[in-house]
Structure 1
Amino acid sequence: MNDPSHVTILKEIAELLNEETELESMLQGSLEKFLEGTDFHTGWVFFIEENGKHALIAHENLPDILTEQDCFYMKTGGCWCVNRFRQGRLRKASNIIECKRITEAIDRSKVNPEGITHHATVPLQSGNERFGLLNVATPGRREFEAHELALLESVAFQIGSAIKRIQLTKKEQEVALMQERNRLARDLHDSVNQLLFSMTLTARGGAEMSEDADVKETFHGLQSLAQEALTEMRALIWQLRPKGMEGGLTEALNGFAEMLGLKATIKIEGVLNLPSKVEETIFRIAQEAITNCKRHAGADEIYIWIDAASDKIDMTIRDFGRGFYPDHVEKLPSVGLSSMKERTRLLNGEFSLKSHPAEGTQIKITLPY
């Protein structure tokens, strides 16, 4: 590790890691910089979850055969390094005798992936927490020397520490956001919500006290507007600080729909054991759809189907209300629909919308996890 070039590459990667705040861009950037400063040519990063499922998070200079079909050979099946990681037996940088993914690609396509058959692997970890694997390869190389593996371990240690830092920062941001939502919800409840409630009572009292028909009608109009604004305000407070989530999605969504005066028919298939981020996204999208149904559909019932698999969740939301032409919404974007699409995109999900006047609206999302 006394090689000056090693010190330089470690310094440059450390500077990049200190600047980055997003996980994927950090991994991609550090991988690119590592390959630029060493004799390694190709690299990729797997994240491996507690259940053993792996995901390709970053890659650079992969041979063409390995990028085909959206990196099919890299994303499917198992291999020695991932299996050893799952078993807790991969603790340091190691030479892989032969890469199963690469040999399968060669066998199926009969094309040698640019001379790459072997790679080195190193776990990404911070303390006792393990996140995944950093793999690197070079055409024509079947084995890497001790000093190269030592450099790989040093880089992996830096990246592991940066992953932990980013995760902690994200958690702090989520806690801060939750606290701010709770504060805003309390403020709205204690001020605006109470004012609107008082306005409905005052308008009703004014209507009862007056003998003039026009004045009565005016007060009734004010009462109706104030009541509508009060319902909207309660929905906003609920969105900021949802009640009932501790009882599960069904209870929370039923409660929200009931508050808006809608009946929600909810059917769930499979066992819901979702990461908190996925569960919140499912809830927020369904919540937005229920709100849109109340405001625009003219329906009094909404149907929600949730199908949970081991690696993804599908949700379909349907009403039989007014409906609309989706291309008109594309020209004049709806804030609600944009929010649902953005929430889906952030979790690498799929969003689809079907609607037609007098036939209602259907929204379907698929979220991987």
Structure 2
Amino acid sequence: MTFQCQRDCYMQEFATVVVSCSPAELKADTNGNKEKVKGFNVKLQDTILFPEGGGQPDDHGLIGDVPVLRVTRQGPEAVHFVGSALEVGQKVQLKVDWERRFDHMQQHSGQHLITAMADSMFGYKTTSWELGRQRSSIELDTPSMKPGQIEALEAAVNEKIRDHVPVTVQVLSLDDPALEKVRSRGLPDDAVGPIRIIDIEGVDSNMCCGTHVSNLSHLQVIKLLGTEKGKKNKTNLIFLVGNRVLKYADKSYSIERSLVALLKTGPDDHVDAVDKIQKNVKALQKSNLGLLRDMAVLTAQNFKLHPERGNFFTLHKKEGDNEFMSIIANEIANEDTLVFLTVGEEKGPGLFLLAGPIEKVAKLGPRVLEMLQGKGAGKNGRFQGKVNSMARRQEVEELLREHCNSEP
């Protein structure tokens, strides 16, 4: 069965009837976390909302005023997941999220064109593709592509766009001998009924269930961003089509203007300016580390020389690292002195080091971890690790000081 969205990819509203509605659950991605959402699976007499398939994500839209959260294909039927129940037999008006749909049409038809031209020009076969949220990629059966090949391919596909090449749809039966001449990576196991063929006149004929433009001119433009190393000695070709190219150009220009203001140089000098800044930062970091080491030594020596130094030393410093703390602990190095050091934000995460008498450190280390919500370990008179919050640091310090004062 073909759906109305496949018969007329440009239709944005459509009247149909609810055939069934049953309770269901959907695993939704919320800020990177999978959560189960309760709702209803709705089947309609026909639909303009494309169910995910062929590498193309599903459509978003409305059934009446009820948002459609997911559309999937089950054999010959499309299943719409919604949050509210709909009455069986009810006449409803469908509306498709046209911006999302047209974007998918551009990317999908663009993929067909790039795939066909990469094959005809270089013999590179497409083994898979991904329609991403911001950019898309085609996996080509080649270990690499030369810059000159990418430039030639980009020029060729955009020439086809300028030529206003028609894109048509054929529907053939499974036993039609014409299917043998059609490019395909195979049909789904549950494929039934007639087979849909997307034909780019004089360029490509390919089995596909997705939504497509009716003319290559509707793609506007294709930009090949470059390649990335793929799996199993293959290459991923990254691309943008149509409105995504315009959005990319707009975003790139905005970033460029921001960099001009920050770096006080023109766009052509940005790389050199950033390189100079990075070298200066490395030099400053090296100098800062040297100063921190010197400060650590002086801090420890000042404690050792103090006539009333006692048997407990504590210090918190916002700037520092494990080496800074280790130098202080090594310099003090007194079997009778308990050393508690922390670095990081006063109320935020950071590092800690507890050093001194082996028995005291072994006993108090886990308690310090618990109070500072940290992770760490220790041995031989040293206990150190990372902490999630310094909020209770003062309490830890009082605990350690009290413990030192209570023992002879």
TM over 0.5: no
TM-score (norm 1): 0.28
TM-score (norm 2): 0.26
Q: Which has the larger radius of gyration?
A: 2
